[in-house]
Amino acid sequence: MLSLPRLLPPALLLLASVISAPLSAQPTPPPATPQQQQPAARPAFGNQIRQIKGNLYRAGNGAWHSIFLVTEKGIILADPLNLAFATWLKPQLEERFHVPVRYVIYSHSHFDHAAGAKVFADTATIIAHEGVATNMDGRYPQMPGDMIDRNNNGMIDREDIMIPTTADPGICGMSASFFDQTDLNKDGIVTPAELQVDIVKPDLYYSERMTVTLGGKSVELMHPGKNHGNDMTVVYFPEERVVFATDMIADALVRTDLHSLPSACGPFDGTPLAEWISSYKAVQALDFDIFAGGHGDFYSKADIAAPIEFLEDLQSAVTEALGKGWSLEQMKKQIKLEKYAKWQYYDKLREKNIEAAYLNLTKFR
Ligand SMILES: [Zn+2]
């Protein structure tokens, strides 16, 4: 859940612009061979725009990515990421494509992906799943990384953020400086307004599916169900056969492949494990070639099977152990998940995944 700094100093912004990859936007290249359909997308630091396929591009900074489709009537963008990035992106898009951003879609309401859309608000309609309306109604939103009101004082204070941040650095919580950056009036509490200071409320909500049409192109939005968040949107580009989804299937820990244990914060972010699995399967059921998510590399449809299988195996191992009356400590010792021994974070996160599944499956049944 490492957060990007909300405001990069101007010098860093300039540097980021200079090192961004040059890009020729037009015309559409010839049809890709099957091998070219999986372009390499190593995470690199600095703001970048790179072509995925045709008029579809990935833009991002470090391990955080957005996606946008250029049409003759304007651009459809998913996830502005943060105010600094959006401020960099807007003139890049204007210079390269000469059309305004007409739609901004939020993959979910978390501040490290949805912030910054005010930069595009003069030309764009902002769209999100209806769960985002609840998460922006003035109460505390569903938070990532096990950042919860753990001391039950009705507010998010320093320890609510720092306990998961310190326990699992770079995996749960946010960066060490997140609390001080977010507590704008320095009263020791981060309020919902402070958490969402750079997030613009959407103009339009949908509940299950929605089609966005612009300049003769269509983009499909789908709420897959709850998983990492309770307001998730998957963006499907049918003509390009590309899917964009954030913090699900590929979370912030994922790099070159999907053989990576999930970060599994708290009780799996407080949504039922069965729904995590069904929502991943809803993505798998789409007809696509490339999964180009908010984190990680580009993956094939076949690659999506591995994280689904992991969650199913974890769910069944812990369910079986609960049925036998095992304690959590016994489960951590005896559930080895050997099939995944070579996955990234196996040693670091195996027990944590078992604990998260235990908390989840005793809460939801
Ligand atoms: Zn998130």
For 263-277, what is each residue's pLDDT tens digit? 999 999 999 999 999
Question: Could you give the C-alpha distances from 265 to 233, 260, 295, 333, 358, in angstroms and in order?
Answer: 20, 15, 17, 19, 12
Residue 247 in domain: yes
Question: Is residue 50 located within the same domain as residue 131?
Answer: yes
The pLDDT of 33-59, averaged and rounded, is: 70
Q: Which residues have C-beta under 5 Å from ligand 1, the single-atom ion?
A: 110, 144, 247
pLDDT band at 209 (very low <50, low <70, confident <90, very high): very high
Question: Is residue 108 located within the same domain as residue 203?
Answer: yes
Q: What is the whole-number distance in angstroms between the Cα of residue 128 and the centre of ligand 1?
A: 14
How far is the C-alpha of 146 from the C-alpha of 173, rounded, in Å? 6
How far is the C-alpha of 206 from the C-alpha of 95, rounded, in Å? 32
The boundaries of the domain holding residue 336 are 309-363
Confidence check: pLDDT of 42 > 60: no
Q: What is the whole-number distance in angstroms between the Cα of residue 56 and the centre of ligand 1?
A: 23
Structure tokens at 278: 């069904």
The pLDDT of 341-351, averaged and rounded, is: 97
DSSP 8-class letter at 3: P
The length of the chain, given as a count of residues: 365
Q: What is the whole-number distance in angstroms between the Cα of residue 140 and the centre of ligand 1?
A: 15
Closest CA to 314 of 282, 346, 281: 346
Residue 189 in domain: no
pLDDT of residue 365: 81
Q: What is the whole-number distance in angstroms between the Cα of residue 231 and the centre of ligand 1?
A: 10
Q: What is the whole-number distance in angstroms between the Cα of residue 135 and the centre of ligand 1?
A: 13
Contact status, residue 288 vs residue 301, Cβ threshold 8 Å: yes
Confidence check: pLDDT of 31 > 50: no
Residue 194 in domain: no
Question: Is residue 355 located within the same domain as residue 249?
Answer: no
Q: What is the whole-number distance in angstroms between the Cα of residue 78 and the centre of ligand 1?
A: 14
The pLDDT of 86-97, averaged and rounded, is: 97
CA 76 to chain centre: 18
Confidence check: pLDDT of 332 > 90: yes
Residue 185 in domain: no
Question: Is residue 318 located within the same domain as residue 283?
Answer: no
To the nearest 10°, report the CA torsion of 164, 161, 156, 118. -120
pLDDT of residue 17: 33
Q: What is the whole-number distance in angstroms between the Cα of residue 110 and the centre of ligand 1?
A: 5
